[in-house]
Structure 1
């Protein structure tokens, strides 16, 4: 009874690791794909609508900047959003330069996907430490969970099940 329960626990505990690892890997992959795809996107000018800057001791990851902007592409009026946290921002004091652009009604350059104009990037910037962290944690969780699930299934149904019953 208890050996089977231990094997089931091994199997069941591996599943969340596989799911978590998959999520991290997909997030890292999406960031890289958008970064490399944006190399061929069209440059446009956007109008900054709002700039929010959150900072303080309660910010676990550091300062956060959130920018809302609007742009026109092939006669369509569209809106976009950009956010970054701490060192992930492409420049220090990003919020100050964007607030100045907003106050002066000065346009800011951005990139738009010509195939999907609703998709735009204010900055084409891949922050490597965060990308590598997501990819590393994703690989670790996915591989650890996969080994746990495979080993649990093997022990429950394969040669390990025959030995455990004796």
Structure 2
């Protein structure tokens, strides 16, 4: 994914590179989401398929209290409704989410994600699926590297068994 921000630090678009092109051994751009800020405390997004130029999803983010935000994602046959609970520094500390499949007319997921912070950095995330895994799975953030501006350029997520299950590498371009 590639994220673009305006000079004030607001996210204005996101590009997803999800199609693997074998001959070129590379990923190709498949979706682009463009964000707007129509009012204070509100952000909306429209996701388009790059090839067909058709809308394939929408999103809205609305502050509902000083410490919480309602998030609605609508993509293809799935609607996800989330509440982001924020801490005193406006960081997401807990996400409560429910996903519905409109084609099957049923709830397909109900989960929470809880973040633990230390020194202004997430050190642990616990995901609990209310139906299948109420105890949850905890991922610990390890092997963090930052650039000279303090942004994370590398981190790894380790599961309950000590296995690295995800590696995140980022690059930043500063103007």
TM-score, with structure 1 as normaliser: 0.23
Structure with the largest fraction of strand: 2
Q: If you compute each CA radius of gyration, which structure gives the higher value, 1 or 2?
A: 1
Name the structure, 1 or 2, with higher relative contact order (CA <8 Å, separation 6+). Answer: 1
Q: Higher helix proportion, which one?
A: 1
TM-score by length of 2: 0.22
